[in-house]
Structure 1
């Protein structure tokens, strides 16, 4: 049987990547400040992401906890872009509450949007949360040759996004954004 183009691209892609994780939570930031790891901030979503990535053979080279403020979010993303990370993932601030401004802070930086990510994430989330899926504004895009994913803050959401979308497609995504 002949392999499809996506399967060929995945086989040719590098297998291990470096990730930057940014958790956006004012309450957690006020309590823990600038921790070096998700464990130090009792960041369940950050720890879930780190554990999933490391179990898949990837490395977390950057971790930042920031408040729900545009400058803090943007500065963290820009610092992650300057790091050795191949892929950047933010968690939190994607809902509809007035303080949820991750999307408004990050999307103006996008050179290209990866619209299929948000669509697929919401599709896969329907089984778990039903029609509440309309409340998530998860998005992804490309900035300076790196993929950036903005995820909801719940541990279940980050586990779904990483295990079913981001980790399986990491090599394929990185290869394409760097061409």
Structure 2
């Protein structure tokens, strides 16, 4: 059977990548401050991301806990983009509450948007949370030659996004972003 172009690209892609993780949570930040690991911040979503990535032979080279707010979000993402990380993932602040500013802070920097990520994430979430999927604004794009994913803050959401979308497609995405 002949392989499809996406299958060929995935096969040719590098197998291990480095990730920068940013958790956006004012309440957690007020309790734990400038934590540099999800374990230190008792960050279940950050810990789930780190464990899934490491189990898939990827490396987490950067973790930051920050409060909600445009300036902290922009600063943390720009700092992560300057790191050697191949992919940046944020967790939190993608909902509809007034303090949820992740999307407003990051998407203006997208040089290219990956609308299929948000669409697929919501589709895959439908079975777990039903029509509440309309409340998430999870999205992804490319900034400075790196993929940036904006995920909801729940541990189940990050597990789904990483295990079913981001990890399986990491090589394919990085390969295309760098061409």
* TM-score, normalization by structure 2: 1.00
- Aligned twin of 1:9: 9
Give, in whole Å, the separation in 2 of the partners of 1:41 and 1:109.
Answer: 28
Q: How many residues align?
A: 179
Q: CA deviation at 1:36?
A: 1.5
Corresponding residue number in structure 1 for 2:25? 25
Task: Provide the rounded CA distance (Å) in 2 between the counterparts of 1:109 and 1:40.
Answer: 30
1-structure distance, mates of 2:5, 2:88: 26
Measure how far apart 1:123 and its partner are. Answer: 0.3
Where structure 2 has 5 or more consecutive residues not aligned to the other structure, the ranges are: none
Deviation (angstroms), 1:141: 0.2
Question: Runs (4+) of structure 1 moved beyond 6 Å?
Answer: none
Q: Which string of whole-angstrom CA distances, capped at 9 and with x for unpartnered residues, describes residues 3-49 of structure 1?
A: 00000000000000000000000000011111120000000000000
Q: Which residue of 2 aligns with 1:84?
A: 84
Partner residue, 2:143: 143
Work out the CA distance in 2 between the residues paired with 1:132 and 1:36: 32
CA distance in 2, matches of 1:110, 1:121: 19
Q: CA deviation at 1:112?
A: 0.5
Give the TM-score normalised by structure 1: 1.00
Aligned equivalents of 1:82, 1:56: Cα separation in 2: 24
2:70 corresponding residue in structure 1: 70
Structure 1 unaligned spans of 5+: none
Name the structure 1 match of 2:52: 52
For 1:157, the equivalent position in structure 2 comes to 157
